[in-house]
Amino acid sequence: RKIGVVFQDFRLLDSKTVFDNVAVALEVADSSLEEIRSIVPNVLNMVGLTEKMFKYPKQLSGGEKQKVAIARALAHEPDVILADEPTGMIDPDSVDDVLEVLEKINSLGTTILMATHDQEIVNAMKKRVLRIERGQVISDKKGGKYRA
């Protein structure tokens, strides 16, 4: 419950609304209906999707789907969010929006651990960069840049 996960391929349930996709994370943690009704709109507001609450995944853009996945990861107020290539399957125009949401979450105190191969994103974010090869940390730079 202290770690939220954002998958590259969103992992949304097509038969569920945006609200219900986020609520799933709370349901499996045995949250009450009252908690779910309070938390889900709050996290959807945080990622800018309040107006899409009752839409289905097929009605959303790739960037919006990723924001739903981020909201789901946020629902149980984790200390850490693991984001696996969160911009890998979205259109270039949505990349900045998704990164902005992750930056906002980080500024509120949640650690974001993001795996990416996108050198431009790493360099633009100016955050700590760990380079790992074959399970070994080979580089650790604060505010660093990615170098292949």
The fold for domain 3-116 equals Rossmann fold (3.40.50)
Mean pLDDT, the chain, integer:
93
3-state secondary structure of 112: strand
pTM equals 0.91
Give the span between the Cα atoms of 58 and 60, in whole angstroms: 6
Q: What band does 147 get if pLDDT is binned at 50, 70 and 90?
A: low
Helix ranges restricted to H, 8-91: 18-27, 33-46, 62-74
Give the span between the Cα atoms of 71 and 1, in whole angstroms: 14
- Compute how many other C-beta atoms are within 10 angstroms of the C-beta atom of residue 12: 22
Residues forming a β-bridge with 80? 3, 111
**Residue whose pair of structure tokens reads 């209906």 in the numeric block:** 33
